[in-house]
Structure 1
Amino acid sequence: MATPPAGSAEDPTGAQLLALHRSGRLLSEYPRVRSLLDGVSGPALARCGQLLSRLDPDDVLREHPDITTVTMAVTGHSTLSLLMPSLTAETARHGLLLRPHMADFDSYVFDLSDPDSDLYAAGADLVLCVLDPMIVFDELPAPWTADDAERVLAEKLALLEQLIARFHTVGRGTLVLNTMPLPSRYTAQLVDHRSRARLGALWREAGARLLRLTETHPRLVVIDLDPLIAEGLPATDDRLGVYAKAHLSSQLLARYAREIGHLARHLTGRTKKALLLDLDGTLWEGTLGEDGSGVLDGDGSTAFRSFQRVVKQIGAQGVLLAVVSKNDAEPVREILRDHPDMVLREEDFVRITANWAPKHDNITELAGALNLATDSFVFVDDSPYECALVAGAHPGIAVVGLGDDPACHAWSLLRDGWFDTLELTGEDRTRVAKYQQELVRHDFLQRFDTIENHLRELRIEVRVGAATEPEVARVSQLTLRTNQFNLTVERMQPAEVRAYAETPGARVLAVHARDRFGDNGLVGAVFLRREADTVHIDNFVLSCRVFSRGIEQACLSEVLRTAEAAGAREVLGRYRRAAKNGTVKDFFPRYGFKPLSDDGTNAAFRHDLGDLVPVPDHLHLTPDNGGDAP
């Protein structure tokens, strides 16, 4: 069936974008694009991407300088022009502006091996090297055997390992490869089943070897195409493959672009942190009665339990789970505690909010209690009415509306990869417990008439020292996921944190905190660099869990003290304005730094070390033998 053209009646989002384009208002109203693309997928999204790709990114930035950009360089063996509209749209639907660089046809070896190539000159955040099966089959003799395929596969894997090593030496950002599908038109060319089985085994072994390269190359991501093809997508298109040298289908490339959009969202600090769940019709069947009966007893009980298993799996990996439901609190808690068929239990949630207040108001209260912005939440509900209310009240929140069939709930939640991350850390495994402690702290605060008395009774202890190798992944995660207290919003992969720390004259300080309620863990990092008698604070990030407790002041006090003790003459600080870090715009002036320059985006400040910032009286600071200034 032919797909409707962009702007047709069957494509209402495309019609709106086309109307904006034709009226000359698409550039001026570009911030609307994110909301217009909400819920659009498949061919309709690619058509929207075709319209958006006509805009010059520089023009968009001049009109809307606060938009976050992501630069992508695309290279490969085949024709990849079909990928660009989907990439443009997938990044736009996450509020990002794509800066693309498309390499020449079949240039991936040159692009990645030559340090002077245009690909490296692009300085891309993401380098997409799109692999297809013809990388192997184009080099087989005629006739060929499984032995020939084994030889070429080994040669290609060896080549790819060389290219990955070169990228890690020369390039920046993240390199993305992918596994290659095995088209049946090639297995069918081997008429004996034993040879077909051998080719399949060789192909899968090569894919597994490619996937395992991520274990030893920290700036490499490998997208596994097999799960995407298992969704029912065609891997190839025979006609496009023969006539246009496009060796992956447009449907598969669009689905691949969706994965890249999720990755770009994470690398720009937009990974979601908390999953807020309705109950009736979402986690269980029907409406909870006062006696708590019937919630998992109907025909859909198996599907609802399956969805609960998915939610529990997500929560076990550091995602905060919370209930936001219109119900009476005690029956809800009884069900979560006592119902024999419940997979999720009371202790799985950082907070259970069950009352009859508007859900968007409850979400506001929860955000304050957790010290998180609402745009770090994903809200899931089966009611279109509630979804619309929450989306209207909290524009940055991700709203997942569920359909009538509970068997589809899990994929409705998972398909947008809201919680995708490059790597889990030890902190992720304990995050739920730490936020549960955080809510106890929040409730503890209500007992005091002043913040000062509350902080004093918290008995905060702060430890500052040089980041160790096991802490590098967590420090990287803080730069990637922290938006509010992130002075320069510079995102760093573990390898970049490690390289910074190993630079002569530089040091990365790790900030740990604990109090009467428990250990907060590694909550912050300070990036310091010394040049002559000047110490530069290149960045300072602090988890939103520990805002407004004087920890930032204690860290700055330690930096200034050690700089003075090491004979420095001054400390320079840097602040870069971004969409979400306005709360720290006056951080340096607040503690005695004088302004040096400000171009509207980047500001510089200087402290002459004449009047040092004191450690707050209510906390105890312990330098950890690594707190000396560079």
Structure 2
Amino acid sequence: GSLAARVSGDRRWPYLGYHVWDRMTGIAARFQTERPYALAIEIFNPNDRIVELVLQISVDRSRMLPRREEHKLPLPFYETLRIPSGHFSQIIPGEKFAPIASSGLPFEIAIEPLQEDTHLVFLTLDLIAQPKKIDEQKLGQDLPVKCVIFDLDETLWKGTLVEGDVQLKSGIAHLFEVLDHKGILISVVSKNDPAAAEEQLRAFGLNQYVLKSQVGWRPKSEGVKAIADQLNIGTDALLLIDDSPFERAEVERAVTGVRTLSEKALDDLLDDPRLAGAATSESKERRRLYKEAETRKEASTSFDGNYDDFLRSCEIRLTIRTNELRDTERIQELVQRTNQLNFSGHKYSNREVALLLDDPTLVRHVIECSDRYGSYGVVGFCLTRLEGKVLRIEDLMLSCRVQGKQIERALLSHLTNSNGHMLDAVEIAFHQTKRNGPANAVLDDLGFEPTTNEVRRITMTPGMFDTDIVTIEYHQPGPTGDLA
């Protein structure tokens, strides 16, 4: 190509090698049967601020045959990356963009900065194959892990605390930092003296990451159950790391659904797909949200008055708005991970979420909450449609962080008032599951009656959902984005 360019004077010739290579890789891709295991991203941010990027993986329509039907194409995958100052690395699991990668169609990866004048150094941006180490581990239980519980002696550190000095194992501080960044909670269960263990964790700088630790001399299964109860998550969302086969067996026998690994798994723990976590702003702030919840609980215990008076003192503010592109990942997280306040009981795939967000017959409501103790972030997602004089709630998911705070009543107050006083009834799709008992209790408390086809219904009367406990703000869609 270069030689032909010099002879002919045509500058297009040097691109010949590129086009030949592109054609060859395209042909080879047709015979590729194994989809990528993940997308690896490694970036250095020389700025002194966080830089936000939008990652998009989508079918390359420019390289497709024109007869391909558009509605059969896999939907694009989006994820927002928040790049802190310094070094950043992340693995995007292949399952997140599997419909595109396994479609056999050409696809492209695009990254767009949300801020102007952005300077970043990309060290790695590449698709990777299935690691052999993961194959050998035979990770059968693939449910996402919400909390990792660590033993202490000979697991986090070398040595036994009651016998003298201990030494933190290499990489533990980085492991805690990354898990915390992913929104995965960290706790500790250990047979040790509680005060000595807390002092040692503080000396190693790890205590800031640990929630609801259970250190003492009772069976570890009891400690694991207590952590699940206090964090209000299912035991099937827990992973225990312990060097003792006896302790792992005792916990597995006594605690339903819990997963366990030996301390030998620590080096490769961040490669475990169950610990993919999430990249939403709420997930990265999850530890802070739990800390604020502890403050609220302590305030509630010491409050002199009834519970409703305490809620009024919290100055709860609810913001309801239409969804925006930046909400997509958080909506996906809510509809896939919510259990207790999941009214339909349905878990949507990313494709189903994309279809919902494009459905013109549905009205979408993103729900944010805050109070005088701090922000809860985006805590809910609601889908509604108006059928004559009946408001139908097709789906409603709320984070358990706002359970018992009259958020459901405030939402219904907004939904019914925004449609005037012309409604005859409100219906909500409800499917009973093993884990959404709290949602059932909410509907009973509000007065919804069972009908047919898994629908609850209530006949409207003026002001029936009014509340003086929650202040409601509505984010009016439009170019101004004013609050109404």
TM-score, scaled to structure 1: 0.55
Aligned to 1:70: none
1:215-614 counterparts in 2 under 5 A?
224-226=127-129, 228=131, 231=133, 255=135, 270-289=143-162, 293-296=164-167, 304-338=169-203, 342=204, 344-402=205-263, 408-411=265-268, 413-414=269-270, 416-421=272-277, 424-448=279-303, 451-492=307-348, 496-497=352-353, 499-565=355-421, 567-598=422-453, 603-610=454-461, 612-614=463-465
Matches of 2:179 and 2:70 in 1, distance apart? 31
Shift of 1:368: 3.1
Find the residue that maps to 1:484 and give its secondary structure: coil
Matches of 1:443 and 1:594 in 2, distance apart? 35
1:120-131 counterparts in 2 under 5 A?
none
Aligned to 1:618: 469
- Aligned-partner residue type, residue 541 of structure 1: M
Native 8 Å contact 1:557 1:615 kept in 2: yes
C-alpha change, 1:455 and 1:327, in structure 2 (3 Å) is farther
C-alpha change, 1:294 and 1:584, in structure 2 (3 Å) is same
Aligned to 2:72: 170
1:153 aligns with 2:25: yes
Matches of 1:587 and 1:360 in 2, distance apart? 31
Shift of 1:584: 1.8
Matches of 1:572 and 1:454 in 2, distance apart? 31
Matches of 2:381 and 2:260 in 1, distance apart? 32
Native 8 Å contact 1:176 1:223 kept in 2: no
Shift of 1:414: 4.6
Shift of 1:323: 1.7
Shift of 1:154: 3.7
Matches of 1:544 and 1:164 in 2, distance apart? 47
Bigger CA drift: 151-160 or 528-537? Answer: 151-160
Matches of 2:470 and 2:420 in 1, distance apart? 22
C-alpha change, 1:329 and 1:154, in structure 2 (3 Å) is same
TM-score, scaled to structure 2: 0.70
Bigger CA drift: 544-553 or 308-317? Answer: 308-317
Aligned to 1:250: none
C-alpha change, 1:613 and 1:359, in structure 2 (3 Å) is farther
Q: How many pairs were matched up?
A: 396
Matches of 1:511 and 1:625 in 2, distance apart? 13
C-alpha change, 1:388 and 1:615, in structure 2 (3 Å) is farther
Matches of 1:256 and 1:564 in 2, distance apart? 61
- Give RMSD over aligned pairs: 3.8
- Aligned-partner residue type, residue 129 of structure 2: D
- Aligned-partner residue type, residue 503 of structure 1: D
- Aligned-partner residue type, residue 228 of structure 1: P
Matches of 2:23 and 2:468 in 1, distance apart? 69
Shift of 1:554: 1.6
Shift of 1:590: 2.9
Native 8 Å contact 2:150 2:240 kept in 1: yes
Native 8 Å contact 1:286 1:294 kept in 2: yes
- Residues 87-128 of structure 1 show CA distances to partners (whole Å, capped at 9, x for unaligned) of xxxxxxxxxxxxxxxxxxxxxxxxxxxxxxxxxxxxxxxxxx
Shift of 1:481: 0.9
Shift of 1:385: 2.5
- Aligned-partner residue type, residue 445 of structure 1: S
Matches of 1:334 and 1:442 in 2, distance apart? 25
- Aligned-partner residue type, residue 24 of structure 2: V
Matches of 2:137 and 2:20 in 1, distance apart? 32
Matches of 2:372 and 2:69 in 1, distance apart? 47
Native 8 Å contact 1:560 1:613 kept in 2: no
Native 8 Å contact 2:338 2:398 kept in 1: yes
Matches of 1:402 and 1:325 in 2, distance apart? 14
- Aligned-partner residue type, residue 512 of structure 1: E
Find the residue that maps to 2:160 and give its secondary structure: coil
Matches of 2:405 and 2:373 in 1, distance apart? 14
Unaligned runs of 5+ in 1: 1-144, 180-208, 216-221, 232-253
Find the residue that maps to 2:368 and give its secondary structure: strand
C-alpha change, 1:156 and 1:470, in structure 2 (3 Å) is same
Native 8 Å contact 1:178 1:225 kept in 2: no
Shift of 1:610: 2.2
1:212 aligns with 2:115: no
- Residues 117-148 of structure 1 show CA distances to partners (whole Å, capped at 9, x for unaligned) of xxxxxxxxxxxxxxxxxxxxxxxxxxxx9996
If each structure's helix is expressed as a fraction of its own residues, which one has the higher value? 1
Find the residue that maps to 1:489 and give its secondary structure: coil
Native 8 Å contact 2:213 2:227 kept in 1: no
Native 8 Å contact 1:465 1:511 kept in 2: yes
C-alpha change, 1:619 and 1:533, in structure 2 (3 Å) is closer
Unaligned runs of 5+ in 2: 1-16, 32-58, 76-96, 113-124
C-alpha change, 1:488 and 1:164, in structure 2 (3 Å) is farther
Matches of 2:236 and 2:289 in 1, distance apart? 20
Matches of 1:324 and 1:582 in 2, distance apart? 29
Shift of 1:539: 0.6
Aligned to 2:94: none
Native 8 Å contact 1:591 1:613 kept in 2: no
Shift of 1:211: 7.4
- Aligned-partner residue type, residue 166 of structure 2: V
Find the residue that maps to 1:560 and give its secondary structure: helix
Find the residue that maps to 1:289 and give its secondary structure: helix
